[in-house]
Amino acid sequence: MSMAALQPVSEPVAYVVMGVSGCGKSLVGDAIAKHFGVEFVEGDALHPEANIAKMSQGIPLDDADRLPWLDRIGAAIRASLDDGKDIVISCSALKKIYRDRLRDFVDGRLTFVFLDGSEAVLTARLTARNGHFMPASLLKSQLATLERPIGEDRVITVDIAGSQVDVIENALEELGNCTR
């Protein structure tokens, strides 16, 4: 038996880049995925059409809207891990029950990267953004819904007040300090 056969095989990992609209989930998630050479999934692409229509009209989603979307995200994470592949996915994951729902799909094998910022920074980013279905007017409802993941296992928090490069570098540094 070779020594290589005795080495433990690491399990695939999943990272959920989370936060309210405008925090940079897609940008940071894509950068993390490229850094690790893994797939990035844009969580917004998994929204049912009815959710996108609702948000486009400035109507906030409720739990009944979000749960099927979270199940799609959880299924995508589960499928990737079942295939032995790491994955990075973006998802607002605003409430603890949403994060727990995602954790349940993968027996807790999930690390959240929480992109945290002030309302002023988020508003500035949202008003400068073009071509997204989520209007800046929904930021207040998202902030009201947000339950910060303080004290939860496997969560790193990254302040988004710096430049995009700084935010990405800070996220990668924090992930480097985490154990798989």
- Answer whether 116's CB lies under 8 Å from 150's CB: no
Q: How confident is the model at residue 33 (pLDDT cuts 50, 70, 90)?
A: very high
Of 167, 13, 154, the C-alpha closest to 81 is: 13
Q: What is the pLDDT of residues 104-124, one digit of tens each?
A: 999 888 999 999 999 888 888
Average pLDDT on 20-47 reads 93
Cα atoms in the Cβ-side hemisphere of radius 13 Å centred on 106: 30
Domain ranges for the chain: 14-177
Question: Is 8 a residue whose pLDDT tops 60?
Answer: no
Mean pLDDT score across all residues of the chain: 87
Read off the pLDDT of each residue in 29-48 and give the average, rounded to a whole number: 94
Q: How high is the pLDDT of residue 117?
A: 92
Residue 173 Cα to chain centre, angstroms: 17
Percent of the chain with pLDDT over 90: 59
Domain range 14-177, CATH class: alpha beta
Give the residue-averaged pLDDT of 124-142.
68
Residues 6+ apart with CB under 8 A from 27: 164, 168
The model's confidence at residue 7, banded by pLDDT at 50, 70 and 90, is very low
CA within 13 Å, CB half, 169: 6
Q: Round to whole Å and give the CA distance between 19 and 112.
A: 10
Nearest residue to 18 (alpha-carbon basis) of 89, 104, 117? 89
pTM of the model: 0.86
